[in-house]
């Protein structure tokens, strides 16, 4: 059996940003295991992507109880990788998980009760073969459970040593602000907010980025490539076999309208003029905001991950390029 030895140069090129006003630094690019690491996917390919990521300085892997499919299987796969490859590097890794969406049957396997959040974290630890996660998130707000209860559960997980830090995800500014206050009062300040942000989905610009900046909370931005739309995957209007759009579940083929293709191709022209790919420009565009702690990408191959990592090289986007992009982003989809 080959024993994995991480690349000795892994910290030479990756850049790290401080997560809000905390002691933790996160890589500018982190890797999420929502897709491509479930029991239905190639374990060999998944292993190659994970090891390559760590070899390139990606110290942060993001999971959730329900990632797969089937739900739980991405965490189980990650547990196998912990045992086989990553155990000697545990202290170099920031591993996160979440609870908030439906995970098991009955009234206790969904949303935001203390019972669900605490037992789900315990299940995640067992699947991932970990004693603790670095970050545990409430995955989405629950309108029917008092926020004090959900945040109290995160505080409990931190105090009991099952998580080092608490985070929230998909919270809108008013409820995020309340969550930050409750967590601060409990003595477990919120480390990070995980939110969707890309050139095609800019809702966080309507107050969330200002809030986290003000509160000293970090942000990790998910689906930065709009699940693959902001790459060269669909630029000719064709849906490649095996791509996320071909599966039609989370990325609907209906999104590939003529107007969307026009917009994506206009963005791609900006990228080509820089000698870069659209994916790299989409990541650079997110990194322009210093309140973006980390860009949380997905990848179905090592080549895609490498393409994304190239976003950290070369010059940032110029003012003129940002203006050009802004004009394109106003086009209809």
Residues binding ligand NDP (CB under 6 A)? 32-36, 62, 139, 169-170, 194, 222-228, 231-233, 243-244, 279, 296-300, 304, 307-308
Q: Which is nearer to ligand NDP, 159 or 238 (CB)?
A: 238
CB 221, min distance to ligand NDP, A: 8
In angstroms, what is the minimal distance from the CB of 35 to ligand NDP? 5
What is the DSSP code (8-state) at residue 69?
T
CA distance 73 to 41: 10
Query: What separation, in Å, do the N-terminal and C-terminal C-alpha atoms of the chain show?
Result: 50
Rounded to a whole number of angstroms, the minimum distance from the CB of residue 59 to ligand NDP is 15
Q: Buried b vs exposed e over 193-222: b needs ≥16 C-beta within 10 Å? A: bbbbbbbbeeebeeebbebbeebebbbbbb
CA distance 89 to 100: 29
The residue (of 159 and 302) whose beta carbon lies closer to ligand NDP is: 302
What is the pairing mode between strands 16-18 and 25-27?
antiparallel
Residue closer to ligand NDP, measured from CB, 22 or 243: 243
Alpha carbon dihedral 273, 275, 278, 282, in 10-degree steps, equals -90
* Cβ at position 332, least distance to ligand NDP in Å: 21
| Minimum separation from the CB atom of position 305 to ligand NDP (A) | 7
Give the separation between CA 35 and CA 74, rounded to whole angstroms: 8
| C-alpha of 241 from chain center | 24
């Amino acid at each position: 059996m080959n024993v994995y030895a991480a690349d000795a140069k892994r910290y030479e090129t990756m850049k790290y940003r401080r997560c809000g006003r905390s002691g933790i630094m996160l890589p500018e690019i982190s890797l999420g295991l929502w897709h491509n690491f479930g029991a239905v996917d190639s374990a060999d390919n998944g292993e190659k992507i994970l090891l390559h990521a760590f070899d390139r300085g990606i110290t942060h892997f993001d999971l959730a109880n329900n990632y797969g499919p089937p739900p739980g299987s991405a965490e189980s796969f990650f547990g196998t990788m912990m045992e086989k490859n990553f155990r000697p590097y545990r202290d170099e890794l920031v591993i996160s998980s979440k609870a908030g969406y439906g995970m098991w049957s009955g009234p206790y396997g969904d949303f935001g009760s203390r019972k669900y959040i605490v037992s789900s974290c315990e299940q995640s630890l067992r699947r991932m073969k970990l004693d603790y996660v670095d970050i545990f998130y409430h995955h989405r707000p629950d309108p029917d459970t008092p926020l004090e209860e959900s945040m109290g559960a995160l505080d409990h997980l931190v105090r009991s040593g099952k998580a080092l830090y608490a985070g929230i995800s998909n919270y809108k500014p008013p409820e995020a602000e309340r969550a930050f206050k409750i967590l601060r009062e409990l003595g477990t300040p919120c480390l990070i907010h995980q939110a969707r942000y890309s050139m095609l989905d800019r809702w966080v610009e309507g107050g969330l980025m200002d809030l986290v900046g003000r509160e000293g909370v970090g942000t990790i931005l998910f689906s930065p490539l709009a699940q693959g739309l902001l790459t060269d995957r669909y630029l000719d209007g064709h849906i490649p076999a095996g791509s996320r759009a071909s599966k039609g579940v989370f990325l609907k083929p209906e999104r590939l309208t003529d107007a969307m293709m026009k917009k994506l191709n206009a963005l791609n022209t900006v990228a080509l003029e820089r000698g870069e790919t659209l994916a790299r420009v989409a990541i650079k565009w997110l990194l322009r905001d210093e309140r973006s702690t980390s860009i949380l990408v997905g990848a179905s191959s090592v080549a895609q991950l490498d393409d994304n990592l190239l976003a950290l090289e070369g010059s940032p986007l110029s003012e003129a390029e940002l203006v050009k992009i802004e004009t394109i982003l106003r086009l209809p989809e």
